[in-house]
Amino acid sequence: MSLPAIATTDVLIAGAGPTGLVLACDLARRGIACRVVERESRGFPGSRGSGLQPRSLEVFDDLGVIDAIRAAGGPVQRLQSWDGTTRVAEWDTVEPSEPSPHVPYGEMWMLPQWRTVEILRARLEELGGSVEFGCELTGFAQDADGVTARLRGPDGTGSAVRAGYLVAADGGRSTVRKALGVGFPVTDIVTDPTLIADVRVDGFDRAHWHVWPTAPGGRVALRPLEGADLFQLLAHFGGAGPDFTPDATPEAVRQLLVERTGHEDVRVHEVRWSSVLRIKAGAADRFRVGRVLLAGDAAHIHSPTGGQGLNTSIQDAYNLGWKLGAALRGAPDALLDTYEAERRPVARQVLALTTQVFERDRVDTDRGFSRRGAETLQLGLGYRASPLTRECREGLADDALRAGDRAPDAPCGPVRLFDLFRGPHATLLAFGGTGAPASERYRLVRVGRPGEQADVIDVDGHAHKAYGDRGLFLVRPDGYLALATQDPADLASYEARTTRTAVVSSSGTS
């Protein structure tokens, strides 16, 4: 009797949160076969990661979901601080920032995580993919050619799948990371619990993010959620100890709000979802072990302050997608090593930032939250030290755009540079008549001034202001500058140095 054939796929993704779904969408548009398995029976039901930073919005633009994200969400509400029933101050917790020619999305956009997940899953289905809910990865073994994983379906039936690569996007308690034995040193930022819950409550206006920074028993905050008649509740239990679990029933939440806010008329009609946070920070010792890669919370966990964790996870997936696509189409294995080389330093940098923001919040007892600046927008993160980066120009100003930086946007007549970047390809921008050969390895775009012959015309000079009057800029599929030069010969030497496929995108549909 013959054994049943083992199913095969290019990439198996464990976890259908934002990390897994961004990666799946990116792979699907490249024509890479992938399976997404999620042990839960439905998508994430809570609001937890609500703040989407401008760099994440640019990723969503590239993936084709920005309109849905913008329509479903909204800007950060003004913060209203209270002392009991007395309004103390009203202010902006995020520095206002308007869109600019180089940054099309100027500020953080708020959207409950469950809705972000819904939008990404709908996009994946448009691209021909799906999520297998109630399907748990129970074990795996890898060899030089791939990974064989064991799955358990919703009815308890076991099966096996053979994949070229396995990506762990299965959260901070990652089953995959633990099975690999990868170290995950964690620092306890606060051992006392914080209750986070989505509640339907009366008694507070929906125009503000309400916070009681000096409430008896611990700080409490209520933020109205976009697209739902709910508030996100955050309640810290100072001095409660690490083993205390807050009661999240409607009756208990109402009593908590009455005691901490003094609003006797508050009514809690429903607790839609709740969880308990014990704030920790840490990063895995490795992001890659052979053909298994860690992404998102499986690779790093953060304090929720500053809205960085979810966004860093999205960037993991965006960095990894084009590299997996290239590797599966013949790029050298070393290309995947650059995932850890680029993303682990970023994770550690963000960990330091979130811890700093948390400490500022903790001492800001007047307002409850410290003011968030440009450092939280994730637009300044880049890969200047990456083995994929080469800066060939000399004598640059300290604030000049360099290889490894995010490639700025700019309007060029009826199109924007981001319109030209959108899709799974690399792009070569040529300024000042710098000669460059056409190639199937990238999309060549000659940028000219009015009156010049070019592919696009920089009518108002914004593109030249960002990139300079002359030069070649090779933009990776994830929107970062791989190469910056004024000599076309550097293109060939760059390809040789990076084994020719470092920034080559796999073919696919955008």
Which range (36-40, 302-306, 483-487) has the least confidence? 302-306
- Spatial contact of 503 and 442, defined as CB atoms under 8 Å apart: yes
DSSP designation for 94: B
Tell me the CB-side half-sphere exposure of residue 61, using CA atoms within 13 A: 19
Domains and CATH numbers, the chain: 7-43+57-65+111-185+281-376 (3.50.50.60), 74-108+190-278 (3.30.9.10), 390-497 (3.40.30.120)
Distance of CA 224 to the CA centre of its chain: 22
Residue 285 has pLDDT above 90, yes or no: yes
What's the whole-number mean pLDDT along residues 196-207? Answer: 96
What's the whole-number mean pLDDT along residues 202-229? Answer: 95
Residue from 183, 181, 176, 178 nearest 150 by CA: 176
Report residue 509's pLDDT band, with 50, 70 and 90 as the boundaries: very low
pLDDT at 187: 87
Report the mean per-residue pLDDT for the chain: 92
Q: Which residues make beta-bridge pairs with 220?
A: 212, 235
Tokens standing for residue 469: 């009057």
Strand duo 208-212 + 74-75: pairing: unpaired
- Using a pLDDT cut of 90, give the percent of the chain over it: 80
**Neighbouring residues of 304: CB distance < 8 A, sequence distance ≥ 6:** 48, 49, 277, 279, 354
Residue 510 has pLDDT above 70, yes or no: no
The pLDDT tens digits for 290-310 are 999 999 999 999 877 767 889
Angle at 300 between CA 295 and CA 304, to 5 degrees: 115
The pLDDT tens digits for 330-359 are 999 999 999 999 999 999 988 887 777 767
pLDDT at 440: 87
Determine the Cα–Cα distance for residues 433 and 464; give it in Å rounded to an integer.
Answer: 12
Going edge to edge, which strands form the sheet with 51-52?
51-52, 109-110, 74-75
What's the whole-number mean pLDDT along residues 94-106? Answer: 89
Reported as type and span, the H/E element at residue 29 is helix 18-29
Which range (26-30, 260-264, 347-351) has the least confidence? 347-351
Burial of 320 (0-12, 13-18, 19+ CB in 10 A): buried
The pLDDT tens digits for 410-465 are 999 999 999 999 999 999 999 998 888 888 889 999 999 999 999 999 999 999 99
pLDDT at 505: 44
Which range (5-9, 112-116, 232-236, 459-463) has the least confidence? 5-9
Burial of 362 (0-12, 13-18, 19+ CB in 10 A): middle
Query: Length of the chain, please?
Result: 510
Q: Which residues make beta-bridge pairs with 481?
A: 475
Q: Give the DSSP per-residue string, 453-485.
A: --SEE-TTSHHHHHH-SSEEEEE-TTSBEEEEE
Tokens standing for residue 76: 């950060």
**Neighbouring residues of 450: CB distance < 8 A, sequence distance ≥ 6:** 457, 458, 459
Reported as type and span, the H/E element at residue 349 is helix 334-363
Greater confidence (313 vs 502) lies with: 313
Determine the Cα–Cα distance for residues 232 and 197; give it in Å rounded to an integer.
Answer: 6
pLDDT at 206: 96
Burial of 424 (0-12, 13-18, 19+ CB in 10 A): buried
Residue from 38, 57, 28 nearest 310 by CA: 57
Residue 376 has pLDDT above 80, yes or no: no
Residue 185 has pLDDT above 80, yes or no: yes
- Spatial contact of 358 and 288, defined as CB atoms under 8 Å apart: no
Which amino acid appears at position 449 of this protein?
R
Which amino acid appears at position 240 of this protein?
A
Determine the Cα–Cα distance for residues 52 and 459; give it in Å rounded to an integer.
Answer: 31
The torsion defined by the Cα of 167, 173, 179 and 181, in degrees rounded to 10, comes to 100
The torsion defined by the Cα of 107, 108, 110 and 114, in degrees rounded to 10, comes to 140
